[in-house]
């Protein structure tokens, strides 16, 4: 059976994803097959059309969190390069339907490259989507990538002092305080593709805008993929400015605590 017909709204979201993938590649945040993107598209599809499409397609077993039952997710492929999303999104990514028992999925669109499979971070992405559906339902997109300056911060002694790390990054420019108002979570190291990493990231999103995975990368969610990217882009800008000051041999004056408090009216 052929791919499901994509609603116009979904095609618009795919264009945004391709655009953000280009940003990530140009910024050197997505070396080789680094990073992954997903989006909860459930609300865009007619459930009867989805069920008709999966009827004669291959079902793949996977142990999803129970709350993922019935979700329709866009997700990038394992081993695929994010730069391929720019021109070949149907080869480097797919849309899957998770069955009502959350015991597996059916690919309903894309995945056209040989031996394609969803990202190895599927458990993290699906778990975060379940958390957002229950606690932050407007956030439909997840971006995980490798912003260099944020990764450097995860190797710095400040990583063990989350409040101070955020204060120093916030103080570098007003935009960081305004547009990443909850700040960065210093998420302890956990092996990629594991439930432990998914759990740690969900804990991060209970209180912060960005989850900085220790010695690995950073993850954010947003209403769409561009808004998720914005959290990461602005947070990394603060980290970059801070490190530029250190590299130049001085401690930055930065915004004062009073100035940071004053900016809270815009958050």
In terms of Cβ atoms closer than 10 Å to its own Cβ (0-12, 13-18, 19+), residue 135 is exposed
217 DSSP β-pair partners: 213
b/e burial code for range 5-35 (CB count within 10 A of at least 16 → b) = ebeeebeebbebbbebbbbbbebebbeebbb
Helix (H, G, I), strand (E, B) or coil at 211: strand
Let me know: does 44 contact 73? Beta carbons within 8 Å: no
Q: Kindly report the three-state secondary structure assignment for every residue of 40-87.
A: ECHHHCCHHHHHHHHCCCCEEECCCCHHHCCCEEEEEECCCCHHHHCC
Known catalytic membership, residue 121:
yes
The total number of residues shown for the chain amounts to 267
Strands 217-222 and 210-213: antiparallel
Strand 184-187 versus strand 210-213 pairing type? parallel
Distance CA 267, CA 258 (A): 15
Residues 6+ positions from 197 with CB-CB distance below 8 Å? 121, 124, 190, 191, 213
Which of 121, 134, 163, 203 is catalytic? The answer is 121
Determine the 3-state secondary structure of 245 from DSSP: helix
What residues act catalytically?
A: 121
């Amino acid at each position: 059976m052929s791919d499901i017909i994509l609603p116009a709204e979904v095609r618009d979201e795919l264009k945004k994803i391709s655009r953000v993938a280009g940003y990530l590649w140009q910024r050197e945040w997505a070396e080789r097959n680094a990073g992954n993107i997903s989006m909860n598209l459930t609300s865009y599809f007619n459930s009867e059309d989805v069920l008709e499409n999966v009827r004669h397609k291959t079902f793949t077993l996977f142990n999803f969190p129970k709350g993922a039952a019935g979700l329709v997710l866009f997700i990038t492929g394992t081993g695929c390069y994010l730069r391929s999303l720019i021109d070949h999104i149907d080869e480097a990514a797919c849309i899957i339907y998770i069955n009502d028992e959350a015991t597996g999925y059916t690919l309903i669109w894309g995945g056209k490259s040989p031996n394609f499979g969803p990202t190895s971070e599927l458990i993290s992405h699906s778990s975060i989507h379940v958390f957002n559906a229950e606690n932050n339902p407007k956030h439909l997109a997840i971006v995980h990538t490798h912003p260099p300056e944020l990764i450097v911060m995860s190797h710095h002694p400040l990583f063990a002092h989350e409040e101070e790390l955020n204060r120093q990054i916030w103080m570098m420019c007003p935009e960081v305080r305004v547009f990443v108002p909850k700040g960065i979570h210093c998420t302890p190291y956990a092996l990629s593709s594991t439930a432990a990493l998914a759990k740690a990231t969900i804990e991060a999103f209970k209180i912060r805008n960005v989850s900085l995975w220790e010695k690995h990368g950073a993850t954010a969610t947003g209403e769409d993929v561009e808004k998720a990217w914005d959290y990461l882009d602005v947070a990394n800008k603060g980290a970059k400015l801070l490190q530029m000051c250190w590299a130049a041999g001085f401690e930055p004056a930065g915004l004062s605590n009073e100035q940071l408090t004053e900016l809270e009216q815009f958050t």
